[in-house]
């Protein structure tokens, strides 16, 4: 069905709004991707930029959780659930909606800004937009909230999701 949708899109110039939790499908069919958390847009970018260089901690966590079809890589992954509490949908948190689970907020030790001020979209390079106070420092932790080695990404981390 996805291939048919792609063919129809190419032949007829169609546009789709695809809403999915399956990031492999999103990567296969989308040109631009918007990531939401608790009803708030967190990151928008073209597909390749978002999958190669996610800048919001939630996007990084989502990509770190994607199953990798290579069993050798999958076994080496250090995936773990995000810390913190999932907020109530009927009473979302103030400030950044992701602050109760954000590994970057904890790593940087600046919780007050995240708890009190809702981040506005910031324009990065090439139409990449991120609603995070610390987007330029997002590479300091991997998708699991673990510190990244300087200049190096772990196999199976948020950036190296492999072919999907």
pLDDT in tens, 32-67: 999 999 999 999 999 999 999 999 999 988 888 887
Closest C-alpha among 24, 39, 159, 50 to residue 97: 39
Looking at residue 146, its pLDDT comes to 63
Instruction: Kindly report the average pLDDT of the chain as a whole number.
Output: 82
Cβ proximity of 43 and 130 under 8 Å = yes
* Across 24-33, 57-66, 106-115, least confident range: 106-115
- The CA-atom distances, in angstroms, between 146 and each of 81, 82, 107, 159 are 12, 11, 9, 14
Residue from 40, 161, 22 nearest 97 by CA:
40
Q: Which pLDDT band, with edges at 50, 70 and 90, does 131 fall under?
A: very high
Average pLDDT over residues 97-104: 89
As a whole number of Å, the CA-based R_g of the chain is 16
Q: In 3-state terms, the chain is what percent helix, strand and coil (to 5)? A: 35, 15, 50
Are the C-beta atoms of residues 77 and 57 closer than 8 Å to each other?
no
What residue ranges define each of the domains in the chain, with the CATH number in brackets?
Answer: 20-140 (3.40.50.300)
pLDDT at 164 over 60: no
Q: Look at residues 120, 136, 141, 117 and name the one whose alpha carbon lies nearest to residue 61.
A: 141
d(CA 106, CA 100): 10
| Contact in structure between 57 and 141 (CB atoms under 8 Å) | yes
Does 109 have pLDDT greater than 60?
A: yes
């Amino acid at each position: 069905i996805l291939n048919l949708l792609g063919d129809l899109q190419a032949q007829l110039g169609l546009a789709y709004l695809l809403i999915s939790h399956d990031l492999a499908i999103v990567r296969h069919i989308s040109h631009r991707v918007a990531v939401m958390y608790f009803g708030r847009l967190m990151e928008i970018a073209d597909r390749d930029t978002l999958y190669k260089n996610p800048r919001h901690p939630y996007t990084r966590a989502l990509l770190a959780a994607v199953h990798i079809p290579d069993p050798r890589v999958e076994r080496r992954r250090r995936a773990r659930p995000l810390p913190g509490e999932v907020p109530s949908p009927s009473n979302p948190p103030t400030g950044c909606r992701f602050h109760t689970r954000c590994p970057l907020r904890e790593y940087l030790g600046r919780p007050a800004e995240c708890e009190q001020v809702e981040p506005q979209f910031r324009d990065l390079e090439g139409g990449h937009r991120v609603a995070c106070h610390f987007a330029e420092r997002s590479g300091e932790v991997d998708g699991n909230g673990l510190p990244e080695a300087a200049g190096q990404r772990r196999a199976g981390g948020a950036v190296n999701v492999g072919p999907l």
